[in-house]
Amino acid sequence: MTALKTIIFILLVPGFLLGVVPVFVIPRIAGPAFAAGPWNWSALPAWLAGAGILLWCARDFVVRGRGTPVPLDTPRVLVVSGLYRFVRNPMYVGALLIQVGTVLWFGSLAQAVYWLFLYIGFTLFIRAHEEPYLRKTFGADYAAYCKAVPRWLPRVKRGIPHR
């Protein structure tokens, strides 16, 4: 059941924010766009990497954390392995990478501005909701994790060892 809830969440939330909005809403906004060309296909690796990161992290939430990415059914165990050894928010990194692909595909300034809004929105949600919840729930373990692992960009040779 946990896996099913995770799949539904991924289809609804990231599916809406990274699929419906950038593909069906933003292209209707008039604005400058870069000339289309073969370089637009550089979007494909960004999409694949971003989707892979999202799915890997969702799996870790289910298997290692015994929960889901759904804010009302969070992991019961602090997930600090896998991609979480390198950054505290790899699911958001994956989502932003998917949007980078969309910016490359459409070559649109509006898509780039949307990426910025996603980044700001994710940062505000993380700082206002997720981090306080994790501090309250996991206490000293989460505090040690925050000291060892950066929020967005990985450090070289740092992180929590694999459990």
40-44 long-range Cβ contacts below 8 angstroms, 24+ apart = 40/104, 40/105, 40/107, 42/104, 43/100, 43/101, 43/102, 43/103, 43/104, 43/105, 44/101
- Kindly state the tokens that stand for 92: 């958001």
pLDDT recorded at residue 162: 56
pLDDT recorded at residue 161: 59
* Residuewise pLDDT in 10s, the chain (163 residues): 889 999 999 999 999 999 999 988 988 776 777 777 888 899 999 999 999 999 999 999 999 999 999 888 889 999 999 999 999 999 999 999 999 999 999 988 999 999 999 999 999 999 999 999 999 999 999 999 999 999 999 987 655 655 5
CA 74 to chain centre: 15
Cβ(119)–Cβ(96) under 8 Å? Answer: yes
pLDDT recorded at residue 56: 97
pLDDT recorded at residue 43: 95
